[in-house]
Amino acid sequence: MNQIPQFDPSQYEKKWREKWEEEQIYHIDNPVNAGKPKYYCLDMFPYPSGEGLHVGHWRGYVLSDVWSRYKLLQGFNVLHPMGWDNFGLPAENDAIHKGIHPKISTKKNIDNIRRQLKEIGCIYDWSKEISTTHPDYYKWTQFIFLKMFEMGLAYQKEQPVNWCNDCKVVLANEEVAGGKCERCGGTNIEKRFIKQWMLKITAYAERLLQDLDDLDWPEKVKEMQRNWIGKSIGAEVDFKIDGHENLGPVTVFTTRPDTLFGATFLVMAPEHKLVKQITEASRMSEVDAYIKETHKMSNIDRQTNKDKSGVFTGAYAINPVNGAKLPIWISNYVLMDYGSGAIMAVPAHDERDFQFAQKFGIPIIEVIHSDAAKRNADGTLSEAYVGDGDIINSDYLNGLNVEKAKETIVSRLEKDGVGKKTVNYKLRDWIFARQRYWGEPIPVVYCDKCGIVPVPEKDLPVELPDVESYKPSDDGSSPLAKMTDWVNTRCPKCGGPARRETDTMPQWAGSSWYFIRYPDRDYKEAFASPESLKKWLPVDMYVGGIEHAVLHLLYARFWTKVLYDAGLVPFKEPFQRLFNQGMVCRRAHRCHKCNRWVYDHELDLSIEPDKRVCPTCGSKLEISMEKMSKSKGNGINPDILVSQYGTDTLRLYELFTGDPAMDSEWNDDGIKACYNLLKRSWNFVHAAQPQPQSSPRAAKAVNKLIKDVESRMLAFKFNTAVSAFMEFINEASDAVNEFSQEDLEKFVIVMSPFAPHFAEEIWMTYFKKPDHVFHQPYPKCDEKLLEASEIEYTIHINGKLRMKVMAAPGCSEEALKQLLKGNPRFEELVGDKPVRKTIFVPNKLLNFIL
């Protein structure tokens, strides 16, 4: 008997990774891949933080790699690229605190993460690696910005912005989480007025909404984007202001024009332009005070304060349909940046207006009658009625239902020239400037004579100069503003003196189009070569975390549509299919007194969880489940597990722990199972004495494996695919010498996407094959071999499972009854009792109702 070599992944894993890299077998331009159809599988590229990767990051990368390798076996030329999204605040904050140039710190971080990524054994084509901070890359980010400027989609606007006093930076609405700065976490946001570069994403709201329907994305993500875009259909109605006809009318937006006759007051946002002009002198001080009060309030106060407040301006608006005089109030429940900043209030049929009217004693007029409305004993409404019903008190609308009334009144308003049908979106334009150093310079100059002048394409990129201090100045301007040599330049148009824009782009810029650059990253003539656009794009499969459901994925779609409109790309959507892996969580310890996360290494984990205390202050720790991250001290470093068990084991285990789409709680108790799977597979293949032909049992096991693994991969259920390998090896271990060489080879090929080093070692070293296992075709399942001669039928009595019998597949109800006749167990159960009814499910069960 042959001596079976010891299973020891450290003997071969590194060797194969080096070999693959040396041969560049995953490079899309490698001649071995010529002529194959393309498949583009994209991972969301990481922000290279100093923390390195933890096992949660691994999960997504393993997932997409198994998928990519499966596509490889299917005969595709697979592009699976990797790069770095390395502009952004964390590196800059590091620079401010430690004085290290972000270029240097991010390079260090990238080197470490690249090393970690290589250990996963992914088929990344490293010859396509890109970095958003490389001038050859951001040259084209700047180019796209200028395209948008040319198309009128990039513009400047003075407007209230979210100012974070700590970061000294203006934040996009999208970066304000719960009224707090998403970057630094704690600081409250205040409003400031700054001239900002904006991108007109709202011009694409409708297309961003409509085109979602055709994408093969998780419904959840599509729904989140729909909510974010927030389309609502309604009408704009113009109200004249009594005694202020010179100011023109105030326009309100409403989704309920059918209730116009029920309006009893108007409310304007405190920031509304007309407020100061219409307020009566005697009320000016009160109104002023209220406006000041609102400005002081942070967003979070404004949101959580459910108690309605407001002030009467003393002015009245005229209802265009019936001439009624409606008092105009201001209140902070009306937002300036949605609709027109003013509403008509119909307390009978809107909850918020109802609360407001009740508090300030404003009349409530019902215009929709329904028995479903909730009423007080005296017949008045006890809460706003928002449902359908018959229109009343509304002149020519009376008797119509809500929908009909909407149509009727809108056409009447349009005819009379006092209103029109309108669509509104919650989506707001994107603030596209940061007063920061570590970002792409916005490529425009200001000339006293010519105004805003874009930097000509031939002068791109506008390179980021080195600065002495990374700290923004207290007025909030970028550190670049202090670099006078850089700032002062010549106007490209007239040649006169001019100043450069010192704001930089937000971190989202580079990631909004990186997938376009990958296939031909060295192309000099344009942001992408026409051949690569045609051949490689759009992306076929995009894999990444759910946290990017709205921002990044919406921005990337927006940029793609802009490029399409500019005639620069031939596709309208960047990512045909999207898969979001669930978050990997782990319990984390928090000390409320010290207000910090306590790291695992500070604790004695053998102590009962509820007895653990803070090492600094001794108070009891709160334990909660948190997304794995080093800052919470609950990360698990994959490097340690890899050195202990090998890459393939960790790859398998990352998949085995649960449904990849679901969140999971990390625990490495079961990692041995995956190590054992590989070890048993190793021993099985080495011990097997190949036969000229597989036994029926062995052939069935192999074919079942081929089918199960493939169908589970297609459903993205990698966890049960790993189970299928375990089932196979359980079966195969009992039939070691019943397999043909061909079937053993099929097993190794099917295994190769999951455990590539293992498969390659067996394939090349043990089987002594001349070509890599990844160049083999995915084996076909022979369905005939899976057919069983007998299957189990369950016999139910009154719906309860009572016994089981074996019979041929496709057995008829009658045949099965014949088979049961005379069976002692069956006689005991049924006997002479009359059978009222039977239910037969082919190949499954027979149910007797007695």
Tell which positions 699-758 bind RNA, by CB under 7 A. Answer: 717, 719-720, 722-723, 726-727, 729-730, 733-734
- The neighbour count for residue 326, using CB atoms within 10 Å, is 19
Nearer to RNA, 7 or 312 (CB): 7
With respect to RNA, which residue has the nearer C-beta, 168 or 679?
679
The residues in 453-482 that bind RNA, with binding defined as CB under 7 A, are: none
Contact 509, 442 (CB under 8 A): no
Contact with RNA (CB under 7 A) among 11, 210, 277, 305: 305
For RNA, the closer of residues 340 and 703 by Cβ is: 340
- Interface map 649-688 toward RNA (x if CB under 7 A): -------xxxx--xxxx-x-xx-xx--x--xx--------
Q: Outline where DSSP puts E strands in 403-442.
A: 419-424, 430-431
Beta carbon of residue 340, minimum distance to RNA (angstroms, whole number): 7
Task: Provide the minimum distance between the beta carbon of 66 and RNA in the complex, in angstroms, as a whole number.
Answer: 16
CA-derived radius of gyration, the chain? 34
To the nearest whole angstrom, how small is the minimum distance from the Cβ of residue 190 to RNA? 16
Q: Is 480 helix (H, G, I), strand (E, B) or coil?
A: helix
- The Cα 362–Cα 206 span in angstroms is 38
401 within 8 A of 387, measured Cβ to Cβ: no
- Could you give the CA distance from residue 710 to residue 750 in angstroms, rounded to a whole number? 8
Q: Stretches 95-103, 147-155, 334-342, 362-370: which one binds RNA (CB under 7 A)?
A: 334-342
Contact with RNA (CB under 7 A) among 341, 472, 506, 574? 341
Select from 837, 841, 788 the least CA-distant residue to 816.
841
**Judged by CB under 7 A, which stretch of 93-101, 313-321, 747-755, 833-841 contacts RNA?**
833-841
Question: For RNA, which is the closer residue by CB, 36 or 697?
Answer: 697
Is 787 an interacting residue with respect to RNA (CB under 7 A)? Answer: no
- Interacting positions 252-291 with RNA (CB under 7 A): 253-256, 269
- Between 165 and 173, whose beta carbon lies closer to RNA? 173
List binders of RNA among 160-179 (CB under 7 A): 177
CB of 303 or CB of 818, closer to RNA: 303
Coil, helix or strand for 731? helix
Q: What is the 3-state secondary structure (H, E, C) of 109-141?
A: HHHHHHHHHHHHCCCCCHHHCEECCCHHHHHHH
Least spacing, CB of residue 758 vs RNA, in Å:
15
Q: Establish how many alpha carbons lie within 13 A of residue 612's alpha carbon, considering only the half-sphere containing its beta carbon.
A: 21
- Calpha distance 479→493 (Å, rounded): 26
Cα torsion 203, 209, 214, 220 to 10°: value is 140
Identity of the residue, 495 or 670, whose beta carbon is nearer to RNA in the bound complex? 670
Cβ proximity to RNA, 37 vs 842, nearer residue: 842
In whole angstroms, the minimum distance from the beta carbon of 335 to RNA comes to 4
* Residue 468: CA count within 13 A, CB half-sphere: 7
Alpha helices (runs of H) in 443-507, residue ranges in sequence order: 484-487
> Is residue 238 part of the contact set for RNA (CB under 7 A)?
no
| Distance between first and last Cα of the chain | 62
Identity of the residue, 675 or 739, whose beta carbon is nearer to RNA in the bound complex: 675
Nearer to RNA by Cβ, of 601 and 837: the residue is 837
Q: Output the smallest distance, CB 717 to RNA, in A.
A: 6
* Residue 352 tokens, joined: 């918020």
Which residue stretch of 300-308, 397-405, 512-520, 780-788 sits at the interface with RNA (rule: CB under 7 A)? 300-308
Nearer to RNA, 689 or 838 (CB): 838
- Candidate residues 374, 524, 611, 837; the one interacting with RNA per rule CB under 7 A: 837
Q: How far is the CB of 6 from RNA (least distance, A)?
A: 6
Strands 232-241 and 250-254: antiparallel
The pair phi, psi for residue 190, each rounded to 5°, is -120, 165
Shortest distance, position 744 Cβ to RNA, whole Å = 18
CB of 78 or CB of 427, closer to RNA = 427
Distant-in-sequence, close-in-space partners of 768: CB < 8 Å, separation ≥ 6: none
**In contact, 631 and 51? CB cutoff 8 Å:** yes
Q: Does 845 bind RNA (CB under 7 A)?
A: yes
Residues 798-817 that bind RNA (CB under 7 A): 798-801, 804
CB of 69 to RNA, least distance (A): 21
By beta-carbon proximity to RNA, the closer residue of 449 and 844 is 844
Smallest distance from the beta carbon of 121 to RNA, in angstroms? Answer: 18
For RNA, the binding residues in 510-539 under the rule CB under 7 A are none
Reference 734, options 799, 671, 688, 675; nearest CA is 688
The answer to whether 497 and 448 have CB atoms below 8 angstroms apart is yes
Q: Do 406 and 396 touch, CB atoms closer than 8 A?
A: no
Q: Which of 151, 284, 289, 335 touches RNA (CB under 7 A)?
A: 335
Classified as helix, coil or strand, 35 is coil
What is the spatial distance between Cα 23 and Cα 27, in angstroms, rounded to a whole number?
A: 9
Q: Which is nearer to RNA, 30 or 723 (CB)?
A: 723
Q: Which helix (H) or strand (E) holds 54?
A: none
Evaluate whether 83 touches 129 at the Cβ level (below 8 Å): yes
Q: Which of residues 207-236 bind RNA (CB under 7 A)?
A: 220, 223-224, 227-228, 230, 232, 234
* Selected binder of RNA within 194, 400, 450, 546 (CB under 7 A): 546
| Residue number with CB closer to RNA (63 or 528) | 63
Interaction with RNA in 758-777: which residues (CB under 7 A)?
A: none
The answer to whether 635 and 629 are in contact (CB under 8 A) is yes
Interaction residues for RNA, span 351-410 (CB under 7 A): 352
CB 266 to RNA: min, Å:
11
CB of 509 to RNA, least distance (A): 20
Q: Are 553 and 226 in contact (CB under 8 A)?
A: no
Closest approach of RNA to the CB of residue 464, in Å: 31
Closer by beta carbon to RNA, 146 or else 268: 268
CA-to-CA distance for 455 and 554, rounded, in angstroms?
27
CA 44 vs CA 78, 111, 212, 343, 581: distances in Å: 16, 18, 20, 42, 11
Length reported for the chain: 850
Enumerate residues 5-64 that contact RNA by CB under 7 A: 6-7
Kindly give, in sequence order, each residue whose CB lies less than 8 Å from that of residue 375, ignoring residues fewer than 6 positions away: 381, 382
Burial of residue 760, with CB atoms counted within 10 A of its CB: 0-12 exposed, 13-18 middle, 19 or more buried: buried
Nearer to RNA, 539 or 701 (CB): 701
Count of residues binding RNA (CB under 7 A)?
A: 84
* Interface pattern 585-624 for RNA (x via CB under 7 A): ---------------------------------------x
Restricted to residues 107-136, the positions that interact with RNA (CB under 7 A) are: none
Among positions 548-567, residues that touch RNA (CB under 7 A) are 549-550
The nearest distance, CB 479 to RNA, in angstroms, is 30
Number of other residues whose CB lies within 10 A of the CB of residue 292: 10
What backbone torsions phi and psi does residue 26 show, to the nearest 5 degrees?
-100, 5
Beta bridge pairs of residue 196:
157
Return the amino acid letter for 404: K
| Shortest Cβ 601–RNA spacing (Å) | 21
**Of the candidates 499, 495, 476, 474, the residue with the CA atom closest to the CA atom of residue 486:** 499
- Which residues inside 410-449 make contact with RNA, applying CB under 7 A? 424, 426
DSSP 844: T
Nearer Cβ to RNA, position 565 or 727?
Answer: 727
303 in contact with RNA (CB under 7 A): yes
841 binds RNA (CB under 7 A): yes
